[in-house]
Amino acid sequence: MSLFKRNSAAVSITETKPSIQHAENANEDGSPRASKEKDVQPAAVTGCDGQIVDEETAKYLDSSIVIDAETNTQIKRMAIDKGTLAASSVMGIQTDNKLHGQQYALLGTILYIGILIGELPVNQLIQRVRVAKFLGSIIICWGILVCCHAACHDWSSLMAVRFLLGLCEAGVQPCLMTLTAMYYRRVEHPTIISYWYCQQGVQLMVSGLLSFALLHIKRGPVKSWQALFILCGGLSICWGTAVLLFLPDSPMKAKCWDDERKTLILERLRVNEQGVQNRHFKSEHLRETLKDPVVWTYLVLQLASFIIVGGLAVFANIIVKGLGFTTYQTQLLNLAQGAWSILIYIGSAWMARSLNQTILIMIAFMTVALIGTIVLDVVPVTHHTAAGLLIAFYLANCCIVSGNLLWSLVTRNIAGQTKKTTVFTLMFVAFALGNIIGPQVFRSTDSPRYHNAFAGHIALYAFFIVMSIVLRILLMRRNSQRKTALAAADGSTPPAEDAVIGNHRDAFSDLTDLQNTQAFLYMY
């Protein structure tokens, strides 16, 4: 079986035995740099004329990469732990801890203040440490803190635990993003990221069933909401230990593959034009990031979307119960909401990949969410309208696809390790700020309909749609300029919109997307 396709001739890597250097040990021009033996790790040769793994081998590699299962499980664990606050909101945590006014909303906000404070130092650490080991340690600490919620008996202690929980979460998603980018091609990112966002839907279903079961605890030293935190936290500790012991830090560190297969894994990533991992900080990448209007458009979209999503996540059960449903019904309805979340995550990813139109699909789903929000805001609650308003609430939850689709745009369209790390940091800062602001939009004086909050969401949807159109125009213009310039240089006709340019010679040279004008095209 041929393992590579190179210049239309089948070549076996076992016959050619190429010199293998890690991308982080390359010079600025992409040529291998001499390094100590301990620093050398298997990777594809830089400067090759576009080695591409053949289709049969690519299918084998897809089946052998287990990082997606690891990230899916961690997202599910993290989502369940975070969802415990929303689930416990109707299980007695507010009464037992004497919460009043905006104190419950502040419990949702303080988590993201911790994330905001932790983002910069944690993202700098990720570029310098063993990612999987760092992730496993964070998950164990996370689980311990989730268990600590059960020991809290007032607002102050809950705030302290939630803040520390935020510091832990600051490192979880950046680690998962980094690991995903190490293993998967750009074209696969919408599907992969959507798969692990689907775990939030699984979270709603699992936490709904757990909450419904634990609500039947009527007596004893442990109350139902306390049992929920202890159970979820304990499972996270077990999972963190498994991640610490078994998850590889990169394709080059995976013990299940020999050097040949490690090289194949990196060869399938050559087309990304993003490299794999480079631990050298480059100040020019930082300057480029801060001057790039596309980056700032991503950040504005991230902030707007998570003001909406963050508020709905914290107040979902309260909103549903306010439509006239009982506590037991509200918890069971999480099953329907979770299934709906999974459906729209997978559906949006499938449409984005099939039609190759990520931004247009994102706009379509946000328009549906806008319609659902308008219905929630203007239709009064009666016995006859409760079911219709519940459907409108589910339609409003279409806004969640902005997370997976926007992140898939970022991971595919940002190249250069320092630039990528910086953009990830800024994106998570915007994510944290959105989730800080989001719960505060829901004022206790507006409960249970929250008309003012939904009016604010309507304005944010309109803003998001306009900025999405701006982003698409910016990316289309950059692609057009690059193709026109290349055509003028060799006197040919500009390539088609979806054509691949270049030979991937600089794929592992740690060039940014703006520097790599010969081969990098934006995906939108």
Phi, psi of 26 (to 5 degrees): -100, 155
Output the CA angle 503-277-175, nearest 5 degrees. Answer: 130
Q: Residue 313: name the closest of 116, 82, 75 by CA.
A: 82
Most confident of 247-256, 268-277, 465-474, 488-497: 465-474
Residue range 278-296: average pLDDT? 82
- Is the pLDDT at 492 greater than 60? The verdict is no
Q: Which two tokens stand for residue 119?
A: 């983002």
Is pLDDT of 360 > 70?
yes
Name 184's Cβ contacts closer than 8 Å, sequence gap at least 6. Answer: 65, 68, 192, 269
Verify cis geometry, omega within 30 degrees of 0, for the bond prior to 495.
Answer: no
What's the average model confidence in pLDDT over 382-405? 92
Cis peptide leading into residue 248 (ω within 30°): no
111-115, 289-293, 495-499: least confidently modelled range:
495-499
Average pLDDT value for residue range 166-180: 82
Per the structure block, which two tokens stand in for 52? 């591409």
The pLDDT tens digits for 291-348 are 999 999 999 999 999 999 988 988 888 899 889 898 888 888 888 888 898 899 889 9
For residues 187-211, average pLDDT: 75
Q: State the pLDDT confidence band at 14, using cuts at 50, 70 and 90.
A: very low
For the residues 56-64, what does the mean pLDDT come to? Answer: 58
| Distance between CA atoms of residues 432 and 310, nearest Å | 9
**Percent of the chain's residues with pLDDT above 90:** 25
Tokens read off for 275: 């490299």
Question: If pLDDT is split at 50, 70 and 90, which confidence band does 6 have?
Answer: very low
Give the strand pairing for 9-11 and 4-6.
Answer: antiparallel
Calpha distance 227→214 (Å, rounded): 7
Average confidence (pLDDT) over 428-455 = 88
Percent residues over pLDDT 70 in the chain: 76
Question: What DSSP string describes 430-450?
Answer: HHHHHHHHHHHHS-GGGTTT-
User: Over the stretch 333-342, which tens digit does the pLDDT of each residue have?
Assistant: 888 888 898 8
Q: What are phi and psi of 234, to 5 degrees?
A: -60, -40
Question: Is residue 67 predicted with pLDDT exceeding 70?
Answer: no
The C-alpha angle with vertex 21 and arms to 18 and 26, in degrees rounded to 5, equals: 130
For range 228-234, the mean pLDDT: 89
| Contact call for residues 147 and 233 (beta carbons, < 8 A) | yes
In this prediction, residues 239-255 reach a mean pLDDT of 80
Give the integer Cα–Cα distance in Å for 421 and 511. 13
> Between these two residues, 469 and 214, which has the higher pLDDT value?
469
CB 136 within 8 A of CB 247: yes
pLDDT at 344: 92
- The DSSP output letter for 205 is H
Q: How many residues are there in the chain?
A: 524
Confidence of residue 11 (pLDDT cuts 50, 70, 90): very low
| pLDDT at site 177 | 75
Residue 407 has pLDDT above 50, yes or no: yes
Q: Are the C-beta atoms of residues 472 and 497 closer than 8 Å to each other? A: no
C-alpha distances (whole Å) from 515 to each of 29, 273, 477 are 12, 11, 16
pLDDT of residue 366: 96
Residues 6+ apart with CB under 8 A from 347: none
Q: What is the pLDDT of residue 49?
A: 38
pLDDT at 495 over 60: no
Strands 52-53 and 9-11: unpaired
pLDDT given at position 455: 94
- Tell me the mean pLDDT in the region 265-286: 64
Distances (CA, A) of 246 to 60, 77, 79, 192: 21, 17, 21, 21
Q: What pLDDT does 305 receive?
A: 95
The model's pTM: 0.72
Rounded mean pLDDT, 235-244:
88
Question: In this model, does residue 42 exceed pLDDT 50?
Answer: no
Burial class (CB in 10 A: 0-12, 13-18, 19+), 411: buried
Q: Could you state, in order of their start, the residue ranges of all structural domains in the chain?
A: 4-58, 65-254+270-478
* Paired residues of 5 in beta bridges: 10, 52
CB 110 within 8 A of CB 162: yes
Q: Are 234 and 140 in contact (CB under 8 A)?
A: no
Q: Say if domain 65-254+270-478 classifies as CATH 3.40.190.10.
A: no
| pLDDT average, residue stretch 62-66 | 55
